[in-house]
C-alpha cells in the first residue's frame, strides 16, 4: 500500500473529531468520554514525539500537549489543538511538531483504510512499534462503538478527512512483538537510600539501610561539577543542580534555571544530550550581543557566565 505523503491534518491549527452514534446523538459528550478520548490522543502524540524525534535535537515534551479549543454541533465535534504555551527550547519546535504531525497523519491514513499492518513498515523496530501500536489501539477504541471521523469545518460545513476505524485486538496481537530476554543475568538497578550510621563503643562503624528509593520510582538529582562535551570541559563554580526523572523507560534531565533539558532512552544518553545542549547554548549565547537576546535569554546568559569557572580544551 502506498501512503499519501501530503498531510491533511495540521495539529497546530486544530483537529476536529466528529463523534456520531449514540455517544454524540445529543450534540454533546459525556465528560468521562471526553476525558478518555483526550487522554488517549495525548498519550499517542507524546509517544510519537519520544520515538520519532531525534535525540540529538533537544525536545521539550510539554510542547506536544493538547488543549481543547472548541466544540461544535453536528453530532459532537470537539476540537483539539497543540498547546500555544510554547516552552523555550534550543531545538526547532516548529520542525519537531511538523515531524510528529506527519507521522500522526500517516497513522490516521492507515486507520481510514483499516490497513494497520502497514505500521510494520513505518516502525520496523519492535520496541518502538509495540509502544505506537499500544497507544494507537487506545485512541481508536476510545470512542467505543460510536462512528468517528476526523473532519474539517469550512463555512460551518463539516467535510470528512479520515474515518477512524478501530484497531482490533486480533490485529494488535499480530503487530506486537514479544521481547524476550535471552541473558539470565542479574538485574542491575540504581537508587538512593536512607542509611543509619551507628558507631559502637569500640569505634566500629555499622551501616544499615532504613529505606530504599529506587531510581525508577522517584525523581532524583543530577548535580555535575564538571560538564564534558567533546573536547570541551566546563569546570563549574558550584554543582549545577538538576532533576533526573525516569518515565516509561525514558530519562529526562532538566535544569529549570537555565531552561536546559537532556533526554534519552538511557541515563547515559540523557546526560550526553544535556551536556551537548549546555555546550550549545553557552557558545551560542556568548556569540550573540545582548541586544539580540530577549530579557529571559540575557538572564540565562548571565547565569551561565556565573556557573562556568573555566573551560579546558
Task: Give the pLDDT mean for 161-176.
Answer: 94
Comparing 6 with 76, which gets the higher pLDDT? 76
Lowest mean pLDDT among 13-17, 150-154, 245-249, 270-274: 245-249
Read off the pLDDT of residues 74-121 as tens digits, 9 standing for 90 and up.
Answer: 899 999 999 998 877 666 889 999 999 999 999 999 999 999 999 999
247 has a pLDDT exceeding 80: no
C-alpha cell at 131: 509502544
Comparing 257 with 112, which gets the higher pLDDT? 112
200 has a pLDDT exceeding 90: no
Read off the pLDDT of residues 204-240 as tens digits, 9 standing for 90 and up.
Answer: 777 766 555 555 544 567 889 999 998 889 999 999 9
Amino acid at each position: 500500500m502506498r501512503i499519501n505523503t501530503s498531510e491533511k491534518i495540521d495539529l497546530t491549527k486544530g483537529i476536529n473529531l466528529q463523534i456520531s452514534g449514540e455517544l454524540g446523538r445529543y450534540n454533546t459528550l459525556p465528560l468521562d468520554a471526553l476525558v478518555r478520548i483526550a487522554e488517549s490522543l495525548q498519550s499517542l502524540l507524546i509517544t510519537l514525539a519520544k520515538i520519532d524525534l531525534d535525540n540529538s535535537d533537544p525536545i521539550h515534551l510539554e510542547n506536544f500537549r493538547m488543549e481543547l479549543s472548541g466544540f461544535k454541533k453536528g453530532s459532537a465535534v470537539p476540537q483539539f489543538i497543540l498547546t500555544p504555551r510554547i516552552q523555550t527550547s534550543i531545538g526547532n519546535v516548529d520542525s519537531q511538531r511538523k515531524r510528529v504531525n506527519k507521522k500522526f497523519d500517516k497513522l490516521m491514513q492507515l486507520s481510514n483504510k483499516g490497513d494497520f499492518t502497514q505500521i510494520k513498515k513505518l516502525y520496523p523496530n519492535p520496541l518502538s512499534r509495540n509502544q505506537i501500536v499500544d497507544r494507537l489501539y487506545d485512541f481508536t477504541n476510545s470512542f467505543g462503538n460510536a462512528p468517528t471521523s476526523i473532519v474539517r469545518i469550512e463555512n460551518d460545513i463539516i467535510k470528512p478527512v479520515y474515518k477512524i476505524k478501530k484497531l482490533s485486538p486480533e490485529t494488535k496481537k499480530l503487530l506486537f512483538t514479544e521481547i524476550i530476554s535471552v541473558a539470565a543475568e542479574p538485574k542491575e538497578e540504581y537508587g538512593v537510600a536512607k542509611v543509619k550510621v551507628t558507631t559502637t563503643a569500640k569505634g566500629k562503624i555499622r551501616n544499615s539501610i532504613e529505606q530504599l528509593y529506587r531510581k525508577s520510582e522517584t525523581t532524583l538529582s543530577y548535580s555535575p561539577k564538571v560538564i564534558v562535551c567533546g573536547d570541551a570541559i566546563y569546570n563549574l563554580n558550584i554543582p549545577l543542580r538538576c532533576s533526573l526523572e525516569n518515565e516509561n523507560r525514558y530519562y529526562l534531565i532538566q535544569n529549570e534555571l537555565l531552561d536546559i533539558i537532556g533526554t534519552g532512552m538511557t541515563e547515559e544518553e540523557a546526560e550526553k544530550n544535556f551536556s551537548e545542549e549546555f555546550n550549545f547554548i553557552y557558545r551560542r549565547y556568548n556569540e550573540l550581543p545582548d541586544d539580540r537576546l530577549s530579557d529571559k535569554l540575557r538572564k540565562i546568559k548571565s547565569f551561565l557566565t556565573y556557573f562556568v569557572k573555566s573551560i579546558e580544551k
